[in-house]
Structure 1
Amino acid sequence: MPARKSATFFAGTLAAAGLSLSVMLTAAPAMADAGFKNWVAQFRSTAAQSGISGTTFDRAFRNVRDIDPEVLEKARYQPEFTAPVWDYFDNRVHEQSVATGRAMARKWKPWLDRIEARYGVDRHILLAIWSMESNYGEILKNDKVMRNVVRSLATLAYADQRRAKFARTQLIAALKILQRGDIDESHLTGSWAGAMGHTQFIPTSYQAYAVDIDGNGRRDIWNSIPDALATAANLLHKNGWQTGKTWGYEVTLPQGRKFPGGSMSLGKWEQIGVTRARGKPFSHPSDKAELKALDGRSGPAFLMTRNFFVIKRYNNADKYALAVGLLADEIAGYGGLVQDWNRPFTKLSFEEKQELQQRLSAYGYYDGKLDGKIGEGSRAAIRAFQAKAGLTQDGHPSMEVLSTLRNR
C-alpha cells in the first residue's frame, strides 16, 4: 500500500441521487446538507460494524455539517502530469530544498541516527521524502491546503462515485486512528484526498506503518518529526530496502547503441559500454539494475537498482522516486547531475526564480507566493509579460525573461 494515493484520479459522477457535480455545487445548501446528513447517519452503522464506537463517530463528525466543495473541485480537475520533465525536477530538487535538507540533517541528527540504526534506511532518503511530501513540514502550516480529513473523505465517499470505495475505506481507517487516540479530531488534518502529516500517509498506510519512536504513546506524524521520519523509514524497510546500497547511478550511454529492456547486473551493463557518469566503478557489480532515461537519450540516463523500486512503493511514479534519489544525493553532498535535463532556455537559480516572481509581481503580472516554484500561476504571469514585451509566449522561467524584466 503506498503512503499516499499517487496515481491521477479521474472525475466521476455523484454517488448520491444521480446528481452531477455542477448541480450539487449550485443546489440549495439545505438540499445538499439533507442528503449528506442522511449519508452520514447511514455510514454510522457501517462504521459500527467495523468496530467504531458511537462516541468516536459522533466526535469525529461533530463539526462536519456539509460536504467540502473544494475537495470535489480538486478531485474533478486533477489532471495527469504533462509538464516537461525538467519542470518537475526544477521545482523539487533545487538549492533551497538541498540547503534546508542539510540543516534538518544537523538539527535532527540524534533522531536520524536512531532511525537509521533501527530501520537501515539512509537518512538522506528520509529527508528527501520529507521535502517532497510537505516541504519539511511547511505545508502543514498552510490552512488553505490542510483540511479536515474526516470531512474530505466523507465528501469523496458521498459525492464521488469513482473514489467512493477508496474514500470509505480510508474514512474507516481515519476513525480507527481517532479511536486509538494517536491524534484528536481537531488535529486530524491532511490533503484533499486524506494524505496526512509531515510524510503524507493515507489512513490505511498509517495503520500499516506508523511508528511511535519518541515513546510518548502516540504515533503522531502531524506533530512529531521523529515519528513521521520513522514511519517513512518503516514503510521502506518493510518493502525491502537494502541497507548500505544506493537507489541507482547516473550513467553515460555509448553512442549509436540500442539497449535491451529489463534488468541485468551492473557488471553486464558495464560490459556493453554503460559507465558511471563520473567515471567511478559500480560499487556492487553483481546487483541487478534497470536502465531509465526520462528525458530521452540526450538527457540524463540512470541505472536503477532495487532501492529505487522500493521508493516507488511510497509513490508509484518514476519521476517521484528519481527526484527523491537525486535530492537525497545532493543533501548528502554527492553532487548533482553530470548531464542536465533538456531545457529550451537558460536555467535560473532558485534565488533568480524568486527574483523573477518578485519583478513580475511588481509590474502587476503575478500575485502568488514568492517561493521560487514555477507553477501555473507563475507561467501565466510569464506568458502575459512575454506578450507585452514582444517575446515568445512559452511561459518558461528563463534568463531571457529575467534579463528583460531587469532592464525595464
Structure 2
Amino acid sequence: MVAIPIMTRNQRSTAKPQRNILTAVAIILMLFAFTTNPAAKAEKSADEQFAQCVQELGDELQEAGFSPSLVDKTLADVERRERIVELDRSQPETLQHFSEYLDNRVTEQRIERGRLIYDVYADLLWKIHDDFGISPRYLVALWGMETHYGAYFGQVPIVDAIVTLSCDERRPQFFRGELADIIALLEKGKLQTDQLYGSWAGAMGHTQFMPSTMRAHAIDYDGSGSIDLRDSVPDALASAANFLNEIGWRSGERWGREVSLSDNFEFQHLGLNEKLTVNEWSELGIRRADGSYLPDSEIEASLLLPMGRNGPAFLVYENFRKILRWNPSQSFALAVGYLADLIDGAPELRSQNPDSDQLLDFEQMRAVQQMLNELGHDAGNPDGLLGPKTRRATRSFQQENGIPADGFPDRDIYERLREETGEA
C-alpha cells in the first residue's frame, strides 16, 4: 500500500506557492529545452567529431609523406554526408534475395543494350582480348552492371564520400587507405580534381574503379598520355581487363554454368569452400541445366544454391572467384556471369525460384538467426541478412533434423524453428 501524506493547515497554505514555483521552474526548463534545440546540439557534436577526424586524417597523410599543401587543398571543403553512411548499411546485395536482385539487375534492357555495345565496340574489345586474354562478353557485362554502359557514373564528390566513410565506425581502415590512394593519384598527376565524382562508395568511371584499384591497375590504352576512366572507353575497358589479367583470370575458361541436381542429391558439398572436379560432380548426379551430361573435365568447381534446393543451382569455376575480387557479393558475381552469357546468346535460366510466400523478410530472417543461436547453431550476430554464417547454421540445423541441408532458411525452416524453440 502506498502511504499518502496528510498535510496540516500550515502545510496546505504553503503548498500552493510551492506548486506555483515548481510550475514556473518546469516552464523555464521546457523553454530552455526548446531554445537550446537538442537536435542542433547533437548535430553540432557530430560536426565537431567529423572536423576532428578530418584533422587526424590530414595529419596521418602528411606523416605518410604526402605534400601538406595537397593534403590541405584536398580536405579543405570536405563535407560529412549522412546519406552515404545509410547507403553503406543497406546495399542491395545484402538486403535482397538473389531472385529479386537478378530481376532488378539483369533486365531485358541491359541485355539488349549489352549486345549492341558488344557490336559497336567489337574491334576494341577483341584487341583488348588479344592483349589481356579477357573475353569481350565479361568486360561488357561488368560495364553494364557498374554504370549501365556509361549511362550513369554517379555525381557524389568522391573525397566527401571516402572521408565520410573513413570517419565512420564500420570500415574506417579500408577507406583511409582509399583516401591515401586518391592523394597519391593526384600527386602523380594520374587523377585530376575534375574527375573526383562517382558513386557513394568512392568508385569512379565507366567500370567504377576504387582509387586503390585505379592506382594499381589502371592504364593509358588510347595513347593520350594520361589515364582517363571517365571519358575514355579504351582506358576504362583495358584497365578492367588488366585488373582481371593481373589477378589471375583464366583465359578461355567459363565463369560457371547453371546445373540441375538429381532427385536424391545429398547436399554434402555446398559453398565456395567446397571444391570438386567437374567429373566428381557428375558422379554425384550433377547435370547441365538441360539434363545432359557435364563435359569431361578435371577443372575444380563449387556448387552454389543461392535460393536453396527449390531455386537455380550453379557450378562456379575459378573465374567466378576472380569476379568476386572485383566485388565480393556472390549475387553480383552470379549476375555478371549470367549477363555475360545472355549477351553472348545463351538461353535464360531454366530453373524456377521458390514461391514468394516461402521467402522470409528482414525481421523473419533476424528471428531465424536468433532461434538458430538459441538452439546452438551459430548464426552470428542477428542482423537480418543472409550471409555464409547463417547458411552454415541453417545447414547444421537441417542436418540435425533430417531436412535436406541446402542451407536456405525459408518459411518452412522458420516455422520449424518456432516449434523447436517454443515460439509457435
TM-score by length of 2: 0.68
2:137 counterpart letter in structure 1: H
Task: State the secondary structure of the residue aligned to 1:81.
Answer: helix
Cα gap change, 1:114 to 1:25, in 2 (>3 Å): farther
- Larger relative contact order (Cα-Cα within 8 Å, sequence gap ≥ 6): 1
* Structure 2 unmatched ranges of 5 or more: 1-36, 358-424
The answer to whether residue 331 in structure 2 is matched with residue 319 in structure 1 is yes
* Structure 1 unmatched ranges of 5 or more: 1-22, 346-408
Residue number in structure 2 paired with 1:115: 128
The answer to whether residue 140 in structure 2 is matched with residue 104 in structure 1 is no
The answer to whether residue 271 in structure 2 is matched with residue 258 in structure 1 is no
Residues in 2 aligned to 1:152 and 1:100: alpha-carbon distance in whole angstroms: 30
Q: Return the offset for 1:302.
A: 1.5
After superposition, the C-alpha distances for 1:230-260 in whole angstroms (9 at most, x for unaligned) are: 2222222122211111111211211122143
Cα gap change, 1:38 to 1:96, in 2 (>3 Å): same
Residue number in structure 2 paired with 1:340: 352
Cα gap change, 1:220 to 1:254, in 2 (>3 Å): same
Residues in 2 aligned to 1:210 and 1:335: alpha-carbon distance in whole angstroms: 34
Residue number in structure 2 paired with 1:395: none
Q: Return the offset for 1:329.
A: 0.2
Do the aligned residues in 2 keep the contact of 1:254 with 1:274 (CA within 8 Å)? yes
The RMSD of aligned alpha carbons is: 2.6
Residue number in structure 1 paired with 2:199: 191
Identical-residue share of aligned pairs (%)? 36
Task: State the secondary structure of the residue aligned to 1:139.
Answer: coil
Do the aligned residues in 2 keep the contact of 1:25 with 1:69 (CA within 8 Å)? no
Residue number in structure 2 paired with 1:169: 177
Cα gap change, 1:78 to 1:274, in 2 (>3 Å): closer
Residue number in structure 1 paired with 2:137: 124
Residue number in structure 1 paired with 2:385: none
The answer to whether residue 159 in structure 2 is matched with residue 150 in structure 1 is yes
> What does residue range 216-255 of structure 1 map to in structure 2 within 5 Å?
216-255=224-263
Residues in 2 aligned to 1:344 and 1:35: alpha-carbon distance in whole angstroms: 45
The answer to whether residue 58 in structure 2 is matched with residue 50 in structure 1 is no
Do the aligned residues in 2 keep the contact of 1:211 with 1:230 (CA within 8 Å)? yes
Structure of greater Rg: 2
Residue number in structure 2 paired with 1:11: none
Task: State the secondary structure of the residue aligned to 2:265.
Answer: coil
2:335 counterpart letter in structure 1: A
Count of residue pairs brought into register by the alignment: 317
Residues in 2 aligned to 1:275 and 1:77: alpha-carbon distance in whole angstroms: 36
Residues in 1 aligned to 2:124 and 2:158: alpha-carbon distance in whole angstroms: 28
TM-score by length of 1: 0.71
After superposition, the C-alpha distances for 1:154-203 in whole angstroms (9 at most, x for unaligned) are: 22323x13332222211111111112222321321122221222212221
Residues in 1 aligned to 2:286 and 2:191: alpha-carbon distance in whole angstroms: 50
The structure with the greater share of residues assigned to helix is 2
Residues in 2 aligned to 1:26 and 1:78: alpha-carbon distance in whole angstroms: 29
